[in-house]
Structure 1
Amino acid sequence: MAGPAGRRDKNTVQSIRGTRIAVAIVIGILFGGIFAFLYPHGLFSPIQTSPFQGRRLSKSILQIGSTACESTERMNMLKSDIIDLSRKNDELKKQVRDLTQKLMAAEQKNGKAEQQVEVIGDPQKAGPFGSVKGIRTNPMVLPDSTVNPRLAKILKKIAVQNELIVVLANSNVKAMLEVWFISIKKVGIPNYLVVALDDGIVDFCKENSIPFYMRDPDEGIDSVAKTGGNHAVSGLKFRILREFLQLGYSVLLSDVDIVYIQNPFDHIYRDSDVESMSDGHDNMTAYGYNDVSDDPSMGWARYAHTMRIWVYNSGFFYLRPTLPALELLDRVAERLSHPPPAWDQAVFNEELFFPSHPGYIGLHASKRTMDRYLFMNSKTLFKEVRKDGDLNKMKPVIVHINYHPDKLPRMKAVMEFYFDGKKDALEPFPDGSE
């Protein structure tokens, strides 16, 4: 058995051991607290935020950090610029959309399309497939004799079924007008009128008992009417013809370089606002064709289809007294009255054929191309018809010497060929002009 001393030693050892454990625990807790304070994100974390670590950074590391900060600032500035540009681009796109919408609204307001649609009769139910046909003929305007009472009185005597041939002439074209008139008389056409642009034509008409009309003086266009050449006078007709339509008459406008071989009113359809002869020289150019454009640089999409037609001749066309026909005259006359100078035939066709598009409202007029062999231009006659044994036996309605400058001798030759039966009358002339 152990004595009291042995027990004290044993107790002492146990007491020392307990103290050591307590001290170790306290030390562990202290070290844990210190590490927790110095390394809040862990000992091996890539993010070092301790102020003690910041003090241990070397000078070189500080310099690298400074450069990195500058690069970051530049990147942030570039990002900011990109964001600003993107916002400005979005604003510009919005402005373009707004302007486009305003433009469309203005066009719709100016065109007043909804007000121009005239409903004829009650709404109709669509019929079976293939039986639906749209309205091709616009209603005629109500005649207004107050527009020009003097002209209304003349037209009432001359017109047949409210239609007539109208030709404008000054003394510069007197010789051609005489051939024009002789052919009219030979065919026996009763409803025609010469709009005399000067006193010389008035005297000529009186001497030959030709119905004529001389306009009241107009300072704006009289100088052109009296002294102008073919193209200048041609531009006046669009303004002058307006009164004929307002009075309720259909007009077959004729240039003076035309020979009449049949009565044209027997060959007019009257199903459109405008019927016109064509400058085309074959069926494709006169009536339209699909022309394929080739752009090899486009690869698979190299071929583009286009619709083409040769222009209507502004020297021979038939107008019904409808609103679209009046609008056509107004548009062409307006454009020809302002610079730059323009060819009336080009303007005439642009207004007839150009469709509505942004910034422009097209003319909604129905149109018909006349038979190219009946209403024949001089290219068709001299390049094709006179050389064909069957075609040269045909009897056209008119021949328009529009492709050749030697108009008078060719007009006389056409008269001899068709009226006098002189088969070689057309042979001395070349196909084109020399």
Structure 2
Amino acid sequence: MTGRRERVAGQSIRGSRIAAAIGVGILVGCIFAFLFPNGFLGSDPPQEHQSAKSAVQVSSSPCESPERVKMLKSELISLSEKNAELKKQVRDLNMKLQLAEQGKDQAQKQFLVLGNQHKAGTFGTVKALRTNPTVVPDESVNPRLAKILEKVAVEKELIVALANSNVREMLEVWFGSIQKVGIPNYLVVALDDETESFCKSKGVPVYRRDRDEGVDSVGRSGGNHAVSGLKFRILREFLQLGYSILLSDVDIVYLQNPFNHLYRDSDVESMTDGHNNMTAYGYNDVFDEPKMGWARYAHTIRIWVYNSGFFYIRPTIPSIELLDRVADRLSRQPNSWDQAVFNEELFFPSHPGYDGLHASKRTMDYYLFMNSKVLFKTVRKAANLSKLKPVIIHVNYHPDKLPRMKAIVECYVNGNQDALKAFPDGSEW
């Protein structure tokens, strides 16, 4: 029994020693793990650290840095050129898109008349296409003007007048009559700083164009005809923005809202310088040449000219072409009268060596849109006509414009029937 106990005790002592050795080994391993986290003999750093270090070494190489800069500059120049080319392509595509839209609009309207290629109707029922389609508005032409027109225009229409400080008193009578009638959609294109300040002080909608030395020199000091010639250049932007314009000189008195009396079925709708049905709307004039014997009489068609100081123009391709033609001729022939050029381009037909303008036109009622010859020579003397209330009266036939404008206001607005009597029919040289 004694020997057996000794063997058990010896085995117990050896087991305790083994357990102690294992514990010491674990403890030493933990210490080494703490002191040498990357191993007792060291190891390679992580791959990403190597890559970062390598990148730093490469980028900091004094030999390769200038070459790298040159390469980047070359790439930047190349990208800039590509960007410019892409912008040009975008502009070209936008232009083609606009033309396509215009063509589509035209095609749709033409299709209504010709698309089915149907037979002509019975006598007296056939009607041709009269109204040209409007252009696609392009606000990039003049974003600042586009914002102004968006606020001022009504149904994409407005009255526009050009003015400088030389016509300040007439301008005040002009916008005073407009305000009296209650017309909200009108705008003064100021040709100098003084006119702009004057309009703002009176609460009148005004637009001062961006500085253009060639235009501004005429605008600041030009007379009636010189300023009148500018409107064909300036109006183009209004049409490109998609607005119909009632162009007005400032020697006009408004007695009714003209937008209530327009037909809007033509490219140009203009008042006439004619004074009766024949001269205003056209007539057959016979030319007599006795030497021709049997063929002595030659029939001609005559009409008195449209007044270029008051006309309604729609934003169509023929309308813009008209403005371009007139502006171009006036720039090449500075001594030409804008009204004569305006009518020649509007009425002359195509013939050998010349392509006429394909624009539709309408003559306004000369009793509603009245010139001063009709007023002072006829209307004021006829009892039945003196009670007529015109839409506008244009003092275009008389140089003493301001006193006659004030007399018109006194007569038609204030009710003084004798206000017009003191004036002669025509002008006194």
Common fold: TM-score over 0.5 = yes
Report the Cα distance in structure 1 between the residues aligned to 2:301 and 2:104, rounded to whole angstroms: 28
Question: Aligned letter for 2:325?
Answer: R
1:222-258 alpha-carbon deviations (Å, 9 max, x no partner) = 1001100110000000000000000000000000000
Report the Cα distance in structure 1 between the residues aligned to 2:346 and 2:104, rounded to whole angstroms: 18
Of 183, 194, 202, the match for 2:196 = 202
Of 239, 252, 261, the match for 2:246 = 252
Deviation at residue 133 of structure 1 after TM alignment? 0.5
Report the Cα distance in structure 1 between the residues aligned to 2:256 and 2:273, rounded to whole angstroms: 20
Of 176, 185, 196, the match for 2:179 = 185
Q: Highest CA radius of gyration, 1 or 2?
A: 1
Question: Aligned letter for 2:196?
Answer: V
1:326-353 alpha-carbon deviations (Å, 9 max, x no partner) = 0000000000011351000000000000
Does the alignment pair 1:216 with 2:224?
A: no
Q: Would you say the 8 A contact 2:187–2:205 is kept in 1?
A: yes
Q: Would you say the 8 A contact 2:106–2:132 is kept in 1?
A: no
Question: Aligned letter for 1:192?
Answer: Y
Report the Cα distance in structure 2 between the residues aligned to 1:340 and 1:181, rounded to whole angstroms: 30
Deviation at residue 153 of structure 1 after TM alignment? 0.2
Residue in structure 2 matched with residue 329 of structure 1 by the alignment: 323
Of 201, 226, 229, the match for 1:232 = 226
Structure 2 spans left out of the alignment, 5+ residues:
1-102
Following superposition of structure 1 onto structure 2, how do residues 305-324 of structure 1 map, counting pairs within 5 Å?
305-324=299-318
Of 253, 263, 266, the match for 2:257 = 263
Residue in structure 2 matched with residue 281 of structure 1 by the alignment: 275
Aligned length: 320
| Residues 188 and 339 of structure 1: CA distance in aligned 2, closer, same or farther (over 3 Å) | same
Does the alignment pair 1:302 with 2:296?
A: yes
Partner of 1:351, secondary structure, is helix
Structure 1 spans left out of the alignment, 5+ residues:
1-114
Report the Cα distance in structure 2 between the residues aligned to 1:367 and 1:241, rounded to whole angstroms: 18
Deviation at residue 130 of structure 1 after TM alignment? 1.5
Question: Aligned letter for 2:268?
Answer: V
Deviation at residue 127 of structure 1 after TM alignment? 1.6
Report the Cα distance in structure 2 between the residues aligned to 1:241 and 1:274, rounded to whole angstroms: 13
Question: Aligned letter for 1:248?
Answer: G
Residue in structure 1 matched with residue 346 of structure 2 by the alignment: 352
Residue in structure 2 matched with residue 427 of structure 1 by the alignment: 421
Question: Aligned letter for 1:326?
Answer: I
1:74-112 alpha-carbon deviations (Å, 9 max, x no partner) = xxxxxxxxxxxxxxxxxxxxxxxxxxxxxxxxxxxxxxx
Does the alignment pair 1:366 with 2:360?
A: yes
Question: Aligned letter for 1:369?
Answer: T
1:2-48 alpha-carbon deviations (Å, 9 max, x no partner) = xxxxxxxxxxxxxxxxxxxxxxxxxxxxxxxxxxxxxxxxxxxxxxx
Partner of 2:311, secondary structure, is strand
Same amino acid, percent of matched pairs: 75
Residue in structure 2 matched with residue 124 of structure 1 by the alignment: 117
Residue in structure 2 matched with residue 395 of structure 1 by the alignment: 389
1:309-339 alpha-carbon deviations (Å, 9 max, x no partner) = 0000000000000000000000000000113
Residue in structure 1 matched with residue 155 of structure 2 by the alignment: 161
Report the Cα distance in structure 1 between the residues aligned to 2:176 and 2:199, rounded to whole angstroms: 12
Deviation at residue 129 of structure 1 after TM alignment? 1.9
Question: What is the TM-score of this pair, normalised by structure 2?
Answer: 0.74
Question: Aligned letter for 2:317?
Answer: L
Of 164, 173, 177, the match for 1:170 = 164
Deviation at residue 219 of structure 1 after TM alignment? 1.9
Residue in structure 1 matched with residue 15 of structure 2 by the alignment: none
Question: What is the TM-score of this pair, normalised by structure 1?
Answer: 0.73
Deviation at residue 124 of structure 1 after TM alignment? 3.4
Report the Cα distance in structure 1 between the residues aligned to 2:223 and 2:373, rounded to whole angstroms: 22
